[in-house]
Amino acid sequence: MKKYSYIILIFNFLSLVSKPIVISLGENCAPAAALRTLFNRYYGLRDKAFPFDWIVTSFEGLYKCIQEDFENFLNEKYLIKHPIHPQTGGVINIYYDFQFNHDFPTTHNINPPEEDPSFAGEVRDDFKQLIQPVKEKYFRRIQRFYEACKGQTPVVFIRRRATKGQAEKLYALLQKKFPDIEFTLVIVDSYEEIKNDWGLSNIKNFYIPDYYDRTMYGIDSEEWKSMLQAVGIL
State the Cα–Cα distance between residues 134 and 219, nearest whole angstrom: 26
The overall average pLDDT reported for the chain is 85
More confident residue, 191 or 1: 191
State the Cα–Cα distance between residues 194 and 162, nearest whole angstrom: 9
Give the pLDDT confidence of 55-74 residue by residue, as tens digits.
999 999 999 999 999 999 99
Task: Classify 218 in phi/psi space as left (phi over 0), alpha (psi -120 to 50) or beta.
Answer: left
The predicted model scores a pTM of: 0.86
Packing angle of the helix pair 222-230, 30-42 (nearest 10 deg) = 80
Residue 224 pLDDT greater than 80, yes or no: yes
Q: What is the pLDDT of residue 15?
A: 44
> How far does Cα 199 stand from its chain's mean position?
24
Task: Please report which confidence band the pLDDT of residue 121 belongs to, taking 50, 70 and 90 as the band edges.
Answer: confident
Choose the weakest-confidence range: 14-18, 189-193, 204-208, 224-228: 14-18
- 82, 89 contact by CB (below 8 A): yes
Residues paired with 41 in a beta bridge? none
Give the pLDDT confidence of 163-210 residue by residue, as tens digits.
999 999 999 999 999 999 999 999 999 999 899 999 999 999 999 887
Domain residue ranges in the chain: 20-230
Task: Classify 23 in phi/psi space as left (phi over 0), alpha (psi -120 to 50) or beta.
Answer: beta
